[in-house]
A and B are shown apart, each in its own frame.
Chain A
Amino acid sequence: MIAAHLPALQVVIPLMAAPLCVLLRRPVLAWALTLAVSWVVLAIAVALLLQVLETGPVTYPLGNWAAPWGIEYRVDLAGAFVLVIVAAIGAVVTPYARRSVEHEIPRDRIYLFYAMYLLCLTGLLGIAITGDAFNLFVFLEITSLSSYVLISLGSERRALTAAYRYLIMGTLGATFYLIGVAMMYMMTGTLNMADLATLMPAVADTRTILVALAFLTVGISLKLALFPLHLWLPNAYTYAPSVVTAFLAATGTKVAVYILIRIFFTIFGGVEVFRINLIGDVLMGLAILAMVSGSAVAIYQNNVKRMLAYSSVAQIGYMVLGISFATVTGLTGGIVHLFNHALIKCALFMALGCVFMRIGSVNIRDMAGLGRRMPVTMASFVVSGLSLIGVPLTVGFVSKWYLVQAALEKGWWPIAVLVLLSSLLAVIYIWRVVEVAYFRPAPEGGPAPAEAPLSMLVPMWLLTGASVYFGIDATRTLEVAGGAAAFLLRATP
Chain B
Amino acid sequence: MEFPGLYNYWIAIVLMMVGFYIVIAHDNLIKKVVGLNIFQVSVFVFYISMAKVRGGTAPILEAGIETYSNPLPHVLILTAIVVAVATTALALALVVRIRNAYGTIEDDEIEGQEDDA
Chain A: residues with CB nearer than 8 A to chain B? 134, 137-138, 141, 145, 148-149, 152, 157-158, 160-161, 163-164, 167-168, 171-172, 174-175, 178-179, 182, 185-186
Contact = CB atoms under 8 A, between A and B. Distances in A.
B90 interface: yes
A158 B117 CA distance: 10
B36 interface: yes
Interface string B82-102: 010011001100110110011
B86 A145 contact: yes
Contacts, number: 68
Given A152-B94, A161-B110, A171-B36, 6 more contacts: A141-B86, A141-B87, A145-B83, A167-B94, A175-B40, A179-B43
Nearest to B44: A178
A179 B76 CA distance: 12
B13 to A, nearest CB: 10
A164 B29 contact: yes
Contacts of A160: 94, 97-98, 101
B42 to A, nearest CB: 9
A172 B22 CA distance: 12
A164 B98 contact: yes
A430 B50 CA distance: 52
B39 A167 contact: no
Interface in B52-95: 73, 76, 79-80, 83, 86-87, 90-91, 94-95
Nearest to B83: A141
A179 B46 contact: yes
B74 to A, nearest CB: 13
14 contacts: A134-B76, A134-B79, A141-B83, A145-B83, A149-B90, A157-B98, A160-B101, A164-B91, A167-B94, A168-B91, A171-B87, A172-B23, A175-B43, A179-B43
Given A149-B90, A157-B101, A164 B23 contact: no
Given A160-B101, A172-B23, A148 B40 contact: no
Interface of B: 20, 23, 29, 32, 36, 39-40, 43, 46-47, 50, 73, 76, 79-80, 83, 86-87, 90-91, 94-95, 97-98, 101-102, 110, 114, 117
A172 B102 contact: no
B36 A178 contact: no
Nearest to A170: B87
Contacts of A134: 76, 79
Contact of B87 (A137, A145, A152, A161): A145
Given A160-B101, A171-B40, A178 B94 contact: no
Nearest to B88: A171
A367 to B, nearest CB: 21
A151 to B, nearest CB: 10
A157 B110 CA distance: 11
A186 B83 CA distance: 22
Given A164-B29, A172-B36, A175-B39, A152 B97 contact: yes
Contacts of A161: 98, 102, 110, 114
Contacts of B90: 145, 148-149, 167
B50 A182 contact: yes
Given A164-B91, A168-B36, A182 B98 contact: no
A185 B98 CA distance: 39
A164 B114 CA distance: 15
A174 B40 CA distance: 10
Most buried by B among A141, A145, A149, A175: A175
A148 B94 contact: yes
10 smallest A-B Cβ distances: which pairs? A157-B101, A141-B83, A164-B94, A160-B98, A160-B97, A171-B87, A178-B43, A182-B47, A167-B91, A134-B76
B79 A138 contact: yes
B103 to A, nearest CB: 11
A379 to B, nearest CB: 33
B49 to A, nearest CB: 10
B39 to A, nearest CB: 6
A141 B29 CA distance: 21
A488 B101 CA distance: 48
A172 to B, nearest CB: 7
B114 A158 contact: yes
B102 A157 contact: yes
B33 to A, nearest CB: 8
Contacts of B83: 137-138, 141, 145, 174
Given A160-B94, A168-B32, A182 B87 contact: no
Contacts of B79: 134, 138
Contacts of A149: 90
A175 B23 CA distance: 13
B83 to A, nearest CB: 5
Nearest to A164: B94
A182 B13 CA distance: 13
A175 B102 CA distance: 29
